[in-house]
Amino acid sequence: MSQQTYQPSLQRITVLGSTGSIGTSTLDVIGRHPDRYDVYALTAHTSKEALLAQCLTYRPAVAVLDSEADATWLRLELKRVGQPTEVNAGPEALCDVARDASVDCVMAAIVGAAGLLPALAAAEAGKRVLLANKEALVMSGALFMDAVSRAGATLLPIDSEHNAIYQCLPAEHRGGLARHGISQLMLTASGGPFRTWSQADINNVTPEQACAHPNWSMGRKISVDSATLMNKGLELIEACWLFDATPEQIQVVVHPQSVIHSMAAYQDGSVIAQLGNPDMRTPIAYGLAWPERIDAGVETLDLFQVARLDFEAPDEARFPCLGLARDAMQQGGMAPVVLNAANEVAVDAFLQRRVGFTAIGQLVADVLSRPFHGHVDSIESVLATDQWARQQAQEMVARWSA
Ligand SMILES: NC(=O)c1ccc[n+]([C@@H]2O[C@H](COP(=O)([O-])OP(=O)(O)OC[C@H]3O[C@@H](n4cnc5c(N)ncnc54)[C@H](OP(=O)(O)O)[C@@H]3O)[C@@H](O)[C@H]2O)c1
C-alpha cells in the first residue's frame, strides 16, 4: 500500500510591521516552514536597512516604507543586486498589500493607531487576519468585528493572552460567554517591571527602566504600556470585542511568571488555561497554522524549572491606567478612542523624557474628562476623534514640559 505524504497548501503572507518585535518573530516562524509560507509583502516605517536585509532573505513581491525618499533608496539597493521586489511608499500602499487579491493571510503588527487602516483593509478583503495590533480593536471594535463577519474574514488573536483564551474556548464562541457556559475570562498580567515598587520610586522611573520588561522582549511602546498596566487595559477592551464579553466578565490576574497566558472559567467550575514559555512565536505559529499546529522554535515548558506559579490582584492605586481603560470600555462610544490616542501621545512624550512616568495616567485621565462626543459609526468619525484627542494631549504635554 502506498502512503501519501501530507502536502500543506502554500499560504501567501503580508507582514505589516515586519521590522518590529512581532514582525521579526513572525519571519522567524515563517522561515522554519518554506513549504507552507510564501512572503508577498513586508513593510516598515523608517527602518530601511532592516527592511532591505529582510527583502534579501525572504524575497517578497512588494516592500513598503513610509517616505518616498526611503522607498527610492530601497529600490536602488534592490536593483543593484538584481532583486525584482517592487517598493512603494505611504499609508495607502500598506492597505494595498493588506488587501491584495493574491494574499491569503495578513500579520497586522504595526504599532499603534497607524495599524488600524491596513488591518481593517485586510478584514474587509476577507483575509485570515493575525491581529497583534490591539489598538485597531480598541479604536474601532464594532466596525472591525462587523467588517470581519461581513467579508467572511478569519480573525485570529496574536496577543498571547487573547490567543490563550481563544485556545481555551469552544471553536464557536460568538454570541456571548453565557451561551457557551463560560462564566469569566481571566486575563493574566506579569505586573510589569514596577510591580513591587513603591509609589515614590515609580514617580522617578526612566524610559530605560520602563522598557526593560522582566519576561517579554517587546517594542518600546508596548513595553511602557506593560509597565503602566495600560497594556492590560487595552487588552481588556480587545477581549470584550473578540469574545463578546463585558468588562465585568473579565478578571485581570497578576501572574509574575508569565507562564499561564490566560484562562477561561466555565459555569461547571472548570478553569481551562493555556501555558507555555513566554515567547511570541507560540501564538504567532498558532495563528499561521490554525487549525493545525507547527513547530515555532519554542522549547516545551519545563514545569520543574518553573516550580511555582503566583497570583495576585492588580494594584490600581499605583497603576491607574487599568481602571481608566475599564471605565472607558464601560462608557463606550468614543471613550476607548480618546483613551488610546491620549495614551500614545503620553507614552511618546515619556519616551522623549518630556513628561514623567506617572504623568501618563494623569494625562489620559485629563483628556478623558473633557467633553467629547460622537459614535463609532464610521472610520472617519473614529479618526476625527483620534485627532482631537491627540491634539488635546499634545497641548497638555507642551504645557507640562514647558
Ligand atoms: N511585542 C510583543 O511581544 C507584542 C505582544 C502582543 C501584542 N503586540 C502588539 O503588536 C503590535 C506591534 O508591537 P511590536 O512590539 O512588534 O512593535 P515594534 O517593535 O515597535 O514594531 C512596530 C512595527 O510597526 C512599524 N511602524 C511603526 N510606526 C508605523 C507607522 N506610523 N506606519 C507604518 N508602520 C509603522 C515599525 O517600523 P519601523 O521598524 O520602521 O519603526 C515596526 O515594523 C503592537 O500593537 C503591540 O501592542 C506586541
Query: Does the predicted model carry a pTM greater than 0.85?
Result: yes
Give the number of the atom of ligand 1 that is nearest the alpha carbon of residue 135.
45
Cα gap 286→156, rounded to integer Å: 9
Q: How confident is the model at residue 1 (pLDDT cuts 50, 70, 90)?
A: very low
- Residue 171 belongs to some domain of the structure: yes
Within this chain, do residues 308 and 342 fall inside the same structural domain, yes or no?
no
Within this chain, do residues 152 and 9 fall inside the same structural domain, yes or no?
yes
Cα gap 78→82, rounded to integer Å: 6
- Residue 389 belongs to some domain of the structure: yes
Within this chain, do residues 48 and 135 fall inside the same structural domain, yes or no?
yes
Within this chain, do residues 49 and 72 fall inside the same structural domain, yes or no?
yes
At position 241, the amino acid (one-letter code) is W
Does the beta carbon of 19 sit less than 6 angstroms from any atom of ligand 1?
Answer: yes
Note if the bond before 291 is cis, omega within 30 degrees.
Answer: yes
Most informative mutation of 18, 21, 216 for ligand 1 (most atoms within 8 A of CB): 21
Average pLDDT, the chain: 96
Residue range 177-200: average pLDDT?
A: 96
Tally of structural domains, the chain: 3
Q: Which residues contact 303 (CB under 8 A, 6 or more apart)?
A: none
pLDDT tens digits for range 27-47: 999 999 999 999 999 999 999
User: So what's the pLDDT on residue 4?
Assistant: 65
Within this chain, do residues 301 and 210 fall inside the same structural domain, yes or no?
yes
- Tell how far the Cα of 4 is from the centroid of ligand 1, in angstroms: 41
Range(s) of the domain holding residue 306: 158-316
User: So what's the pLDDT on residue 390?
Assistant: 98
Within this chain, do residues 74 and 165 fall inside the same structural domain, yes or no?
no
Within this chain, do residues 93 and 215 fall inside the same structural domain, yes or no?
no
Does the beta carbon of 17 sit less than 6 angstroms from any atom of ligand 1?
Answer: yes
Within this chain, do residues 150 and 165 fall inside the same structural domain, yes or no?
no
pLDDT at 197 over 50: yes
> Which of these, 193, 335, 183, 305, lies nearest to 248 by C-alpha position?
183
- Residue 325 belongs to some domain of the structure: no
pLDDT at 5 over 80: no
Cα gap 156→389, rounded to integer Å: 29
Most informative mutation of 18, 22, 163 for ligand 1 (most atoms within 8 A of CB): 22
Q: What is the DSSP letter of 26?
A: H
Residue range 181-207: average pLDDT?
A: 96
pLDDT at 208 over 60: yes
Residue finishing a domain among 264, 289, 316: 316
- Residue 262 belongs to some domain of the structure: yes
Please name the residue ranges forming H helices in 100-206: 116-124, 134-151, 160-168, 199-202
Within this chain, do residues 147 and 33 fall inside the same structural domain, yes or no?
yes
Residue range 290-301: average pLDDT?
A: 97
Within this chain, do residues 234 and 280 fall inside the same structural domain, yes or no?
yes
Backbone phi and psi for residue 41, each to the nearest 5 degrees, phi listed first: -145, 145
Does the beta carbon of 23 sit less than 6 angstroms from any atom of ligand 1?
Answer: yes
Higher per-residue pLDDT: 96 or 9: 96
Within this chain, do residues 91 and 205 fall inside the same structural domain, yes or no?
no
Within this chain, do residues 277 and 350 fall inside the same structural domain, yes or no?
no
